[in-house]
Amino acid sequence: MPDASTEATTSPYFRLEHEMLRDQLARFIDEEVKPYGDKWEEKGMVPRDVLKKMGANGFLGIHYPEEYGGSDLDAIATAVYAEELGKSTYGGFAITPLVHTDMSSVHILNAGNDEQKQRFLPEVVAGTKIGAIGLTEPRAGSDLKGIGTRAKKVDGGWIINGSKIFITNGIYGDFVCALVKTGDREEKPTRAATMFIVEKGFEGFSVAQKLHKQGWRCSDTAELVFEDCFVPDANVLGEVGRGFYAAMQNLQNERIVIGAMAMGEAQAAIDITLEWVKQRQAFGGVLWDKQTIRQRLAMQQAKVEAGRQLVYHAAWKVSQGIDAVKDVSMLKALCGELVNEVLYDCVQFHGGSGYIEETPINRMFRDVRVQSIGGGATEVMLEEVAKRM
């Protein structure tokens, strides 16, 4: 990865290393993703070789320390990374490495002991071990205090019973960082959960089913089941009883990358639609000649630029150690709704072509619907903002 620099860039938030990262990712996506994305959609998975190539190019270790093979860059670099993945136009591809780097393995970086970091992080950065995050359950989504999967302490470890659902990388991943109840102190449910590293091959840990989704079709999404699954003490992640706090801490990072990804998708959709309306003939001219279409696209471009700047500002605050909970909640709500609004217009301007599954704009329309749900529903995010108003 590039060295730090203070040379002039396109934004006051960026250094030269951020611009170089953007360029390198864009080239990688053009060469290694876009030509093959349709096949991945049909197969319902992103090949592991692609993730290993991302690791070899330094893309899976952007904010990980150099001692584990990473580049030790900041939250702004992470936002650039997520935005460029969103521009690939394949949401299922984009979310696959993002879950691995910024929603799952990051828990090992933040809360793992030295042995766990040495055991997992070099392979995480190299793309030879892929992680998933196990928070959501059939009866607990945005409200993590409602999880029911439970662990009981036994000699040398813990026995886990329960299930997790909507788990990206759950089928082809190598481990899942799972939030599990470990106590009965219901008066303080936030103190009754612990994070565990559950590895593929552990007895009693299985994939119940592969879930078929409206969008993100090339990402593997699973329901995971724990049936008397033994997890050794060596795989307890962080302090017992502090798992809820660990999950909430990283949700800020998770929401920044989801917002950045959404703005990358929105920008790509505008670019594709702009090219379409400038060549599509209708009523004696091209669609771009119609004032309504020009102005609606211009307004959407303005909104997307505003959303991007909010993402960058929140990432900058995080990189400076400034509390950004309000900013992150705002951007998650705004960007998740905005990308859906943008794709609605883009499909409309494509006319019948936008309704055909084989077109990129139709695929993106399906993919972005989850952006206002995953990582914290819009309504939950707005409540977080309201608390701080």
Question: Residues 23, 72: one domain?
Answer: yes
Question: For the chain, how many structural domains are there in total?
Answer: 3
pLDDT, position 27: 98
For position 139, which CATH number holds? 2.40.110.10
In a domain, 6, yes or no: no
Q: How confident is the model at residue 140 (pLDDT cuts 50, 70, 90)?
A: confident
**CA 274/CA 60 separation, integer angstroms:** 32
Question: Residues 251, 118: one domain?
Answer: no
Question: Residues 208, 175: one domain?
Answer: yes
Instruction: Give per-residue pLDDT as tens, 142-187.
Output: 677 778 899 999 999 999 999 999 999 999 999 999 999 998 755 5
Question: Residues 148, 222: one domain?
Answer: yes
Question: Residues 274, 231: one domain?
Answer: no
**CA 140/CA 193 separation, integer angstroms:** 14
Beta-strand pair 150-154/131-134 = unpaired
Question: Residues 117, 222: one domain?
Answer: no
Domain boundary residue among 126, 161, 184? Answer: 126
For position 86, which CATH number holds? 1.10.540.10
Instruction: Give per-residue pLDDT as tens, 40-68.
Output: 999 999 999 999 999 999 999 999 999 99
In a domain, 7, yes or no: no
**Domain of residue 265, residue span:** 245-387
Q: Is the pLDDT of residue 297 over 60?
A: yes
Catalytic residues: 254
Contacting residues for 81 by C-beta, under 8 A, at least 6 apart: 21, 25, 59, 62, 101, 257, 260
The DSSP annotation for 41-103 comes to HHHTS--HHHHHHHHHTTTT-TTS-GGGT-----HHHHHHHHHHHHTTS-HHHHHHHHHIIII
User: Are 99 and 175 within 8 A, CB to CB?
Assistant: no
* Residue type (1 letter), 234: A
Say how many residues make up the chain: 389
Q: How confident is the model at residue 4 (pLDDT cuts 50, 70, 90)?
A: very low
pLDDT, position 189: 65
The mean of the pLDDT values for the chain is 93
Q: How confident is the model at residue 132 (pLDDT cuts 50, 70, 90)?
A: very high
Question: Residues 296, 282: one domain?
Answer: yes
Q: What pTM does this model have?
A: 0.93
Phi/psi of residue 45, nearest 5 degrees? -165, 155
Instruction: Give per-residue pLDDT as tens, 233-289.
Output: 999 999 999 988 888 888 888 999 999 999 999 999 999 999 999 999 888 889 999
